[in-house]
Structure 1
Amino acid sequence: MHIKQQHSERHVLAVTVDNEAGILAKIAGLFTARGYNIDSLTVADINESHNVSRITIVTNGPPEVIDQIEAQLERLVPVHKVVDLTTAGPHVEREIALVKVRGTGDARVEALRIADVFRASVVDTTTESFVFELTGSTSKIDNFIALMRELGLVEVGRSGVVGMMRGPEGA
């Protein structure tokens, strides 16, 4: 018996919803029910009256499963719009990270040099450590963290991905 393997792809979904109790649990439940993980999830209100939010979800799955999830998200009552930024066209993705690094002497100098190359800002410092702030693509942040791990990485906090379509139209 030959089992067909499904090709898994990374997708960034932008979901506009009413700020309503339980909506985040319902959305997460759609992924859980299919056995797919949410790699990143960010939520923020997007209008002046604070009654509409944008949820950005990064996940991996076969296109057919992502299509099913999109269709089921669109059927949830408090959902206004679902856009798969990955397939909709050119878009921008960014993430922010705070990265704490221990360092004195040469390691301290090297951490500052690498931070400069990555355009990371020092947002806190002591005589024995730094906290860097870094904004960019997920891969940029992953690379920065890998380099800092060799120099004395202490702690990492990441925001998760936010994304937006390029051009004048909204997503």
Structure 2
Amino acid sequence: MSTHRQHTIAILVQDQPGVLQRVSGLFGRRGFNIDSITVGHCEEPGLSRMIIVTTGDERTITQVQHQLMKLIDVIEVSNISTNPMVARELALIKVKAEPAQRPELVGVVETFRASVIDVGPSNLIIQAIGDLSKIEALVELLRPYGILELSRTGATAMVRGS
């Protein structure tokens, strides 16, 4: 019996209009949810790297990889979660913060090696970078203060070593 778990797929693509739509459309047609997707230029001019986090069993993820390779403009597809990897996400969190609460809030922020990047009259904007569990834990600790706005990038990832 196959077990569903989270997979991180790296896709190297030609930097062309419509590539993101074709890739995400393939996931949608197969009934897959994309937990997060990040896209950006990479080390090779004219190419971009997509990092997609999704959930599924090994067999289905392998099928998706084969289908992705059939798409025009896709150069390489790999399930990097099968290797030792580094994954990070950026979160910007706007939290209610009256001046009296700020020292306590800054203590929470510093514990997570996050930082306050903007101070408003009654709020703070916090920047946090880390793995999914670190971001989730910080968000949960900030919830009681009142999260006014939350913006997350989704994971970007890379295989360790060479």
Any idea what the Cα deviations from partners look like across 1:103-161, whole Å, max 9, x if unmatched?
A: 12553222111001001111100231110111000110011011111112111110110
**Shift of residue 42, structure 1, vs aligned partner:** 0.5
Q: Distance in 1 between matches of 2:2 and 2:80?
A: 21
**Shift of residue 46, structure 1, vs aligned partner:** 1.2
Q: Distance in 2 between matches of 1:144 and 1:47?
A: 32
1:48–1:86 Cα change, 3 Å: closer
Any idea what the Cα deviations from partners look like across 1:36-85, whole Å, max 9, x if unmatched?
A: 10010000011463x10000000001111110000111122311111101
Q: 2:10 is matched with which residue?
A: 14
Q: Percent identity?
A: 37
105-114 vs 156-165, which deviates more?
Answer: 105-114
Structural mapping, 1:22-101, within 5 Å = 22-47=18-43, 49=45, 51-87=46-82, 89-101=83-95
Q: Distance in 2 between matches of 1:70 and 1:135?
A: 28
How many residue pairs were aligned?
162
Q: Distance in 2 between matches of 1:161 and 1:21?
A: 22
The reply on whether 1:136 has 2:134 as its aligned counterpart is no
Q: Distance in 1 between matches of 2:115 and 2:101?
A: 17
Maintained 8 Å contact 2:99/2:122: no
RMSD: 1.4
Unaligned runs of 5+ in 1: none
1:48–1:83 Cα change, 3 Å: closer
Equivalent position amino acid for 1:62 in 2: D
Q: 1:112 is matched with which residue?
A: 106
Unaligned runs of 5+ in 2: none
TM-score, with normalisation over the residues of structure 1? 0.90
The reply on whether 1:127 has 2:102 as its aligned counterpart is no
Equivalent position amino acid for 2:16 in 1: E
Q: 1:146 is matched with which residue?
A: 140
Q: Distance in 2 between matches of 1:132 and 1:7?
A: 36
- SS of equivalent to 1:68: helix
TM-score, with normalisation over the residues of structure 2? 0.94
Equivalent position amino acid for 2:85 in 1: H
